[in-house]
Amino acid sequence: MHTKIKLLKLVEITGALLLLAGIILGFAGAEILHIPFIRMDIVPFAVGFCGVVLFIAANSGISYEKTKTKDQEIEEKDERLLTIERNAKSKGFDIIMILLPFALLSMAIFGYMNKVSFFALAGMYFISFGYQKYLYWKYQREK
């Protein structure tokens, strides 16, 4: 439990630093990075938004871990609930693997996506798909 709280605190600090960096970039301007972003005006918002998301997620996780009762700890380790959670994640992954290629294709066809973002998202798709196949193969060998 303490390791999980320490990890969440690290994520919280990272989120706070990203939020601070977004605020600094908003006042100083993203041009100080000397990176040729296409939309320099969005960079501070994107960095700050990532910081806010990390900060809120870590903060809610820390508060949950600190107020967790013994019954909740026992319930979290229940194999039936773990199986339900794994099945739900599996179905979510299946939906993403089906919908993401169609979303990429439609955004590319209608001109809402440039080459860099298209190939970055397609690469993440193939990495996720390959990792899923690797884990499937690994778990099959263990049986």
Query: What are the domain boundaries of the chain?
Result: 1-68, 75-143
Return the structure tokens found at 59. 């903060």
Pair 50, 17: CB distance under 8 Å: no
How many angstroms separate the CA atoms of 16 and 37, rounded? 23
Helix, coil or strand: residue 81 = helix
How many C-beta neighbours within 10 Å does residue 43 have?
19
- Statement: residue 1 has pLDDT above 80: no
Instruction: Please provide the average confidence, as pLDDT, over all residues in the chain.
Output: 85
> Model confidence over 53-92: pLDDT tens digits?
999 999 988 888 888 777 777 777 778 878 888 889 889 8
How many angstroms separate the CA atoms of 54 and 16, rounded? 8
